Amino acid sequence: MSSSPPSPWWEQAIIYHIYPRSYRDTTGNGVGDLPGIIEKLDYLQVLGIDALWLSPIFRSPMRDFGYDVSDYTDVHPDFGTLETVDALIEQAHQKGLRLLLDFVPNHTSDQHDWFRESRSSQTNSKRDWYIWRDAGSDGGPPNNWLSYFGGPAWTWHEDTQQYYMHSFLKEQPDLNWRNPQVVEAMHSVLKFWLDRGVDGFRVDAVLPIIKDDQFRDDPLRTEASFGKDTGPAENQLRIYSANRPELHGLLRHMRDLMDGYPGDRLLLGEVYSLDPSTAAQYYGHNDEFQLVLNVSLVNLPWEAAKLRHYVEAFEGALPSGARATLVLGSHDEPRLASRWGEAQARVAAIMLLTLRGTPIIYYGDEIGMLDSENAGLNPLDPWPVLAGLPQLSRDSSRTPMQWDASPGSGFSAADEGGTPPNPWLPIHPRAGELNVASQQADPRSIYSLYSALIELRKSSPALVHGSYQALDIQPEGNYVYLREWEGERFTVALNFKSQACRISIPGESTGRVVLSSHLDRNGEAYMGDLSLRGNEGVVILLQ
Ligand code: NOJ
């Protein structure tokens, strides 16, 4: 039996991303809350999760569902109170679970007191906490920067006769991180939560945090991006409005603050770039983020060669000793099982939990939750409305967690008559089948697959720490790799095609199947040749 090398917790962890509005509603108002997360800690512990990342829980007018913060050091009443967070931290820690909050440094809500002051006059002491500029020579915006959500990144403020900048909605004005008072105020926010015992932060929208001090126009892209088509916002190369060299200094400063706290505290950066070398730069020399989200995979089609390329490109770009992440779903993307297919989602689960990077599971992916078309009928997410691109609605992947087959799927507490309220987004029509209770009772369900994979990863140092070597195996459409650590060796073979195939793996190894996507081949002997059904993946322990 091999043993694990000493390493920080986040290298061995399985992180689970919760969208708090949609996890469990204990008050019966149709919106998920923190007591609901506390109630489900046992579920997460049994599943084998190590750390939770919660999308923002702070006070907010909810224009962007919490990513528009109006008070960083208080909790939105829909979710609970500061005392509920304390209880969550304590109970999560008792169960061996760590807690990461979502820190939104780039922008506040326009309802934040800081912005109310800032917009009150050109001479207000907080004017310079945000980015205000005079109109351009033609009376229009000061430059060509675009909001990621569509339209110009500048909004005219009639009362004080200047434009303010916003990388996202106009209700999300960007902070001016060149102002030392802003840096100090935002560091106080981090300290506030670290002092309460949180284990770290997922850091939102990292690249635009600091902008060009000369406000130069962004050029147009010369090469097409493979990301989703977000209209004109996608055509600009954000070299002045984002990804500035000064950002690294700000992040080092933030990391110093984190390192001053006892117990390893984590900074997990949302560096939204499809270019692995950009993402990798933000690990610094182990003095910026300890982990950066690999957001390229969710933008790829279900093709073995492409996914392999981006897994390897991300790993290959990392500074020595740094750890990759694997992200296959999030609150910003279509659901994994809708994007790639339900059968494919099982193969993807094997990939997620047998590669080297730290896996991040989006809530509900473990039961194969699907995008809800109904959620898009009455869009709440402001982005598609603004961008005129309804297909971008993020509502469909944010629907309530499906706990059981009851009418409200166990998401909301029911009233005295037993009727659950209407949830803030509709329950998926297939919740009767895709839910935790039915899948826990079914040994072949996708839940059972996740559970078996997590158990395997946790008991197999090779899957966490081991070397990775991909093999070029015919026919095309397979992703086959070896993981090895101190004599423990696995072959993982994933068939991305719907057709069956037979593959032959060079070398003389023999072994046995320890897991398959269909959960029906355990113990099968392996002699170097392998038949795979369509959309099947297997993990083989080599002798
Ligand atoms: C990235 C977050 O994941 C997304 O949900 C949000 O809309 C933007 N950042 C703006 O904060």
Please tell me if the CB atom of residue 103 comes closer than 6 angstroms to any atom of ligand 1: no
pLDDT of residue 356: 96
How many A from CA of 169 to the centre of ligand 1? 10
Please tell me if the CB atom of residue 64 comes closer than 6 angstroms to any atom of ligand 1: yes
pLDDT of residue 230: 82
Q: What does the pLDDT look like over 97-125, one tens digit per residue?
A: 999 999 999 999 999 999 999 999 999 99
How many A from CA of 236 to the centre of ligand 1? 19
Bridge partners of 212, per DSSP, are none
Q: Which of 491, 488, 484 is nearest to 537 (CA)?
A: 491
How confident is the model over 158-181, as a mean pLDDT?
Answer: 98
Backbone angles phi, psi at 62, to 5 degrees: 65, 30
pLDDT-derived band at 158, boundaries 50, 70, 90: very high
pLDDT of residue 1: 58
Bridge partners of 268, per DSSP, are 202, 291
pLDDT of residue 102: 98
* Residue 172 pLDDT greater than 70, yes or no: yes
pLDDT of residue 12: 96
Q: What does the pLDDT look like over 307-351, one tens digit per residue?
A: 999 999 999 999 999 999 999 999 999 999 999 999 999 999 999
Q: What does the pLDDT look like over 474-485, one tens digit per residue?
A: 889 999 999 999
Q: What does the pLDDT look like over 426-478, one tens digit per residue?
A: 999 999 999 999 999 999 999 999 999 999 999 999 999 999 999 999 889 99
pLDDT of residue 334: 95
Which positions are annotated as active-site residues?
A: 204, 270
Q: Report the nearest-CA residue for atom 10 of ligand 1.
A: 67
Q: What does the pLDDT look like over 241-263, one tens digit per residue?
A: 999 999 999 999 999 999 999 99
Please state, in angstroms and rounded to a whole number, the distance separating the CA atoms of residues 441 and 259.
44
Q: Is the dihedral of CA 443, 447, 449, 453 positive or negative?
A: negative
Please state, in angstroms and rounded to a whole number, the distance separating the CA atoms of residues 91 and 95.
6
How many A from CA of 288 to the centre of ligand 1? 21
How confident is the model over 34-47, as a mean pLDDT?
Answer: 98
Using the atom order of ligand 1, give the atom closest to the CA of residue 332.
5
DSSP for 103-123, please give it: E--SB--TTSHHHHHHTT-TT
Please tell me if the CB atom of residue 204 comes closer than 6 angstroms to any atom of ligand 1: yes
57, 148, 201, 204, best to mutate for ligand 1 pocket (most atoms within 8 Å of CB): 204
pLDDT of residue 386: 86
* Residue 375 pLDDT greater than 80, yes or no: no
Q: Report the nearest-CA residue for atom 4 of ligand 1.
A: 332
How many A from CA of 171 to the centre of ligand 1? 13
Please tell me if the CB atom of residue 332 comes closer than 6 angstroms to any atom of ligand 1: yes
Q: Which of 174, 182, 184, 162 is nearest to 212 (CA)?
A: 174
How many A from CA of 103 to the centre of ligand 1? 11
